[in-house]
Amino acid sequence: MTTASLDLQLALAQTATLGEGLLWRDGRWWWTDIEAATLLAWRPGEPAPLACRLPDRLGSFAHCRSGRVLLGLAKRLALATLGDELELGHLQTLVPVDAAESRTRINDGRTDRSGNFVFGTLNEDQERRPRSTIASFYQYSMRHGLRRLALPAVAIANSICFSLDGRTMYFCDTLTQRIQQCDYDADTAQVENLRLFVQMDDAQAWPDGSVIDSEGCLWNAQWGAGRVARYDPSGALMSTHAAPAAHTTCPAIGGEGMDTLMLTTARTELSREALATQPLAGSLFCLTLPAALGVPDALFED
């Protein structure tokens, strides 16, 4: 049974072309504006975020045990050292990704519960169709390198997150409008028992980023529908929360009390008329939750 909806409120006005990859770490919200090739970090109460311009688009990233940041740049994984003001220091390429396939770039990703980085790619062809499935899901670790997960090829990999015990992986191909789950072994990078988790109940809702909360529920940002939805572990819809921007992209739960839901949004693919009615598209939006539901992402084992 769904609960009454509460709308998200503006947290920080921004004009991100494609805000994504939101995380809470070290007292800051971190996210990427993919098309601007920029990593951003914002401490609540500060007037503006710090920004780090990168040599390529940043699809997703993870904080490392060493203090560095693992970057999922368009066609490679790299380790970066960042200064106090987020200035880019040393950048070390770790491995190319889909080097022989010019149509894909790295998209959604996060660490699993064991500190491996799990990510997917997307097909950048303008004429994307559900059958344009050339993108994949991968696991990367310093110990084993890059390993392709035995999941079906997709057009747009998204919604990557993990159950609290780390044994279930959630993911989607956005164009299918459904989120799937599978059994996942972090040590061997084996996946099996692929199954449906939830089918979108709105023809305008396209599943984007997801996160698991401390009760094992999944929060999903739904591109086009201007909302984030919470599902219980069985896939039942619990609540939906609207944002004043149609293209909601990635939720995260953090804040000092681990009780703030934050959401990134995007301006890309909105017409001039739509932008006139959604002037805050590209901003961060937030909602105070009734409990401390945040679960920190594991640090990447570098």
Q: Encode pLDDT of 193-232 as tens digits.
A: 999 999 999 999 999 999 999 999 999 999 999 999 999 9
| pLDDT number for residue 3 | 47
| pLDDT number for residue 34 | 98
Distance of CA 93 to the CA centre of its chain: 22
> What would the mean pLDDT of 128-137 be, rounded to a whole number?
78
- Residue 16 sits at φ, ψ, to 5 deg, of -60, 135
> What would the mean pLDDT of 263-289 be, rounded to a whole number?
97
- Residue 155 sits at φ, ψ, to 5 deg, of -90, -45
Question: Which residue in the block uniquely carries the two structure tokens 């990367």?
Answer: 140
User: Residue 14 corresponds to which tokens in the numbers above?
Assistant: 């921004």
User: Residue 190 corresponds to which tokens in the numbers above?
Assistant: 């084996």
Which amino acid makes up residue 71?
L
pLDDT for residue 268 is more than 80:
yes
Residues 210, 214, 215, 221, Cα dihedral to 10° = -20
Domains of the chain, start order:
9-288 (2.120.10.30)
Contacts of 215 by beta carbon, 8 Å cutoff, 6+ apart: 293
Instruction: Provide the phi-psi class of 299: left if phi over 0, else alpha when psi is between -120 and 50, else beta.
Output: beta
As a whole number of angstroms, the distance between CA 80 and CA 197 comes to: 35
Q: Encode pLDDT of 22-75 as tens digits.
A: 999 999 999 999 999 999 999 999 999 999 999 999 999 999 999 999 999 999
| pLDDT number for residue 17 | 98
